[in-house]
Chain A
Amino acid sequence: MTRIGVVIFPGSNGDADALHAIELAGAEPVPLWHESATLDGVAAVILPGGFAYGDYLRAGVIARFSPVMRAVAAFAAGGGFVLGICNGFQVLAEAGLVPGALLRNRALRFLGRDVLIVPERLDTPFTRAITGRGPLRIPIAHGEGCYFADEATLDGLERDGQVLFRYADQDGGRAAAGDERSNPNGSLRAIAGVLNPAGNVAGLMPHPERAAESVLGNDAGLVIICSLVEAAAEREMAAGPALVGTTG
Chain B
Amino acid sequence: MTAVASAPELAPLHRRLGLTDLELAAIEAKLGRSPNDLELAIFSVMWSEHCSYKSSRPLLRTLPTGGADVVAGPGENAGVISIGDGLAVAFKIESHNHPSAVEPYQGAATGVGGILRDIFTMGARPIAVLDALRFGDPADARTRHLLRGVVAGVGGYGNCVGVPTVGGELVFDPSYAGNPLVNVMAIGLLPAGRLTLAQAPGPGNLAILFGSTTGRDGIGGASVLASATFADDDPSKRPTVQVGDPFAEKLLIEACLELIEAGLVEGLQDLGAGGISCATSETADRAGTGILVDLDAIPCREPGMAPFEVMISESQERMLAIVRPEREPAVRAICAHWNLPVATIGRVTADGDITIVGGGLNANGRPNPDSVELARIPAAALTSAAIVHDRPSTPPSRRRAAPAPGVPLERNDLLPERGMDPGAILLGLIGSPNLASRRFVFEQYDSTVQVNTVVGPGHGAAVLRVKGTSKALVASTDGNQAIGAIDPWLGAALSVAEATRNVSITGARPLGVTNCLNYADPTRPEAFWQLKEGVRGLADACRALDVPVTGGNVSLYNESPAGPIAPTPEIGVVGLLDDIAQLVGPEFVADGDALILVGETTPGLAGSVYAELAGVAPEDGPPGIDLAREAAVQRFVREAIGRGLVASAQDVSGGGLAVALAEGAIWGDRGAQVRLLINGTPAVDLFGESPSRLVLTTRPGDAPVLLLLAAEQGLPASEIGTVGGDRLVIELGGRGAIGDAEGRGAQVSDALEVTIADLRHAWDYGLQRALGEDPPAHPGDGVEPPDSARGTG
Interface residues of A (CB under 8 A from B): 10-11, 13-14, 16-17, 20-21, 49-51, 53-56, 109-113, 139, 141, 143, 169-170, 178-182, 207, 209-210, 212-213, 215-217
Q: How far is the CB of B638 from chain A (nearest CB, A)?
A: 21
- Restricting to B775-793, which residues have a CB under 8 Å from any CB of A? 776-778, 781-783
Known: A16-B450, A17-B450. A180 touches B445 (CB 8 A): no
Known: A110-B445, A210-B449. A51 touches B781 (CB 8 A): no
User: Within 8 Å of chain A (Cβ to Cβ): is B16?
Assistant: no
Known: A110-B159, A178-B777. A216 touches B443 (CB 8 A): no
Whole-angstrom CA separation of A49 from B450 in the bound complex: 11
Whole-angstrom CA separation of A216 from B466 in the bound complex: 11
User: Within 8 Å of chain A (Cβ to Cβ): is B246?
Assistant: yes
Contact, CB under 8 Å: B449 / A182: no
Known: A54-B160, A141-B446, A215-B454. A179 touches B778 (CB 8 A): yes
Contact of A54 among B247, B338, B446, B781 (CB under 8 A): B247
Contacts of A169 in B (CB 8 A): 782
Contacts of A110 in B (CB 8 A): 152, 155-156, 159, 444-446
Q: How far is the CB of A75 from chain B (nearest CB, A)?
A: 24
Contact of B247 among A10, A179, A180, A213 (CB under 8 A): A10
Contact, CB under 8 Å: B778 / A181: yes
Contact of A139 among B339, B448, B782 (CB under 8 A): B448
Contact, CB under 8 Å: B781 / A179: yes
Q: 1/0 per position for B435-455, CB-CB distance to A under 8 A? A: 000010011111111111110
Q: How far is the CB of A61 from chain B (nearest CB, A)?
A: 14
When C-beta atoms are compared, the residue in chain B nearest to A170 turns out to be B782
Contacts of A56 in B (CB 8 A): 247
Contact, CB under 8 Å: A217 / B454: yes
Contact, CB under 8 Å: A216 / B447: no
Contacts of B156 in A (CB 8 A): 110
Contact, CB under 8 Å: A207 / B448: yes
Contact, CB under 8 Å: B444 / A180: no
When C-beta atoms are compared, the residue in chain A nearest to B248 turns out to be A54
User: Within 8 Å of chain A (Cβ to Cβ): is B294?
Assistant: no
When C-beta atoms are compared, the residue in chain B nearest to A108 turns out to be B152
Q: How far is the CB of B453 from chain A (nearest CB, A)?
A: 7
Majority DSSP secondary structure for residues of B touching A: loop
Contact, CB under 8 Å: B447 / A112: yes
Contact, CB under 8 Å: B339 / A10: yes
Contacts of B446 in A (CB 8 A): 110, 112, 141
Known: A170-B782, A180-B777, A215-B465. A54 touches B159 (CB 8 A): no
- How many A-B pairs have beta carbons closer than 8 Å: the answer is 102
Contacts of A109 in B (CB 8 A): 152, 443-444
Contact, CB under 8 Å: A111 / B443: yes
Contacts of B450 in A (CB 8 A): 16-17
Contacts of B447 in A (CB 8 A): 112, 141
Contact, CB under 8 Å: A180 / B778: yes
Contact, CB under 8 Å: A210 / B160: no
User: Within 8 Å of chain A (Cβ to Cβ): is B169?
Assistant: no
A-B residue pairs in contact (CB < 8 Å), sample of 26:
A10-B247, A13-B160, A13-B161, A13-B250, A20-B467, A50-B162, A51-B160, A54-B246, A54-B248, A56-B247, A109-B443, A110-B444, A110-B445, A113-B439, A141-B159, A141-B446, A141-B447, A141-B448, A141-B449, A170-B782, A179-B778, A179-B781, A181-B776, A181-B781, A215-B580, A216-B454
- Restricting to B466-525, which residues have a CB under 8 Å from any CB of A? 467
Contact of A11 among B247, B452, B454, B467 (CB under 8 A): B247
User: Within 8 Å of chain A (Cβ to Cβ): is B663?
Assistant: no
Known: A180-B777, A182-B781, A215-B465. A51 touches B449 (CB 8 A): no
Of the candidates B251, B449, B778, the one having the most CB atoms from chain A within 10 angstroms of its own CB is: B449
Contacts of B776 in A (CB 8 A): 180-181
When C-beta atoms are compared, the residue in chain A nearest to B440 turns out to be A109
Contacts of B159 in A (CB 8 A): 51, 110, 112, 141, 143
Whole-angstrom CA separation of A95 from B442 in the bound complex: 32
Contacts of B250 in A (CB 8 A): 10-11, 13, 51
Contacts of B451 in A (CB 8 A): 17, 20-21, 209-210, 212-213, 216
When C-beta atoms are compared, the residue in chain B nearest to A207 turns out to be B448
Q: How far is the CB of A27 from chain B (nearest CB, A)?
A: 17
Contacts of A170 in B (CB 8 A): 782
Interface residues of B (CB under 8 A from A): 152, 155-156, 159-162, 245-248, 250-251, 338-339, 439, 442-454, 465, 467, 580, 776-778, 781-783
When C-beta atoms are compared, the residue in chain B nearest to A20 turns out to be B451
Whole-angstrom CA separation of A127 from B277 in the bound complex: 56
Q: How far is the CB of B441 from chain A (nearest CB, A)?
A: 10
Contact, CB under 8 Å: B449 / A54: no
Contacts of A210 in B (CB 8 A): 448-449, 451
Q: How far is the CB of B112 from chain A (nearest CB, A)?
A: 14
Contact, CB under 8 Å: B245 / A181: no
Q: How far is the CB of B644 from chain A (nearest CB, A)?
A: 18
Contact of B778 among A111, A178, A213, A216 (CB under 8 A): A178
When C-beta atoms are compared, the residue in chain A nearest to B580 turns out to be A215
| 7 A-B pairs with the lowest CB-CB distances in the bound complex, closest first | A13-B162, A181-B781, A54-B247, A141-B446, A112-B446, A51-B160, A139-B448
Contacts of B247 in A (CB 8 A): 10-11, 51, 53-56
Whole-angstrom CA separation of A141 from B155 in the bound complex: 11
Whole-angstrom CA separation of A169 from B444 in the bound complex: 21
Contact, CB under 8 Å: B580 / A111: no
Q: How far is the CB of B150 from chain A (nearest CB, A)?
A: 14
Whole-angstrom CA separation of A139 from B781 in the bound complex: 17
Contact of B449 among A14, A180, A215, A217 (CB under 8 A): A14
Q: How far is the CB of A109 from chain B (nearest CB, A)?
A: 5
Contact, CB under 8 Å: A112 / B782: no
Whole-angstrom CA separation of A212 from B443 in the bound complex: 21
Whole-angstrom CA separation of A20 from B467 in the bound complex: 10
Whole-angstrom CA separation of A57 from B25 in the bound complex: 52
Q: How far is the CB of B399 from chain A (nearest CB, A)?
A: 44
Contact, CB under 8 Å: B448 / A112: yes
Whole-angstrom CA separation of A10 from B152 in the bound complex: 23
Whole-angstrom CA separation of A14 from B161 in the bound complex: 10
Q: How far is the CB of B245 from chain A (nearest CB, A)?
A: 7
Beyond contacts A13-B162, A141-B159: 14 other A-B pairs, Cβ-Cβ < 8 A, are A10-B339, A11-B160, A11-B251, A13-B160, A13-B250, A21-B451, A49-B449, A53-B247, A112-B444, A141-B449, A209-B451, A213-B451, A215-B454, A216-B451
Q: How far is the CB of B237 from chain A (nearest CB, A)?
A: 27
Of the candidates A13, A50, A207, the one having the most CB atoms from chain B within 10 angstroms of its own CB is: A13
Contacts of A20 in B (CB 8 A): 451, 467
When C-beta atoms are compared, the residue in chain A nearest to B159 turns out to be A110
Contacts of A21 in B (CB 8 A): 451
Contact, CB under 8 Å: A13 / B444: no
Q: How far is the CB of B455 from chain A (nearest CB, A)?
A: 8
Contact, CB under 8 Å: A216 / B782: no
Whole-angstrom CA separation of A216 from B462 in the bound complex: 12
Whole-angstrom CA separation of A78 from B156 in the bound complex: 38
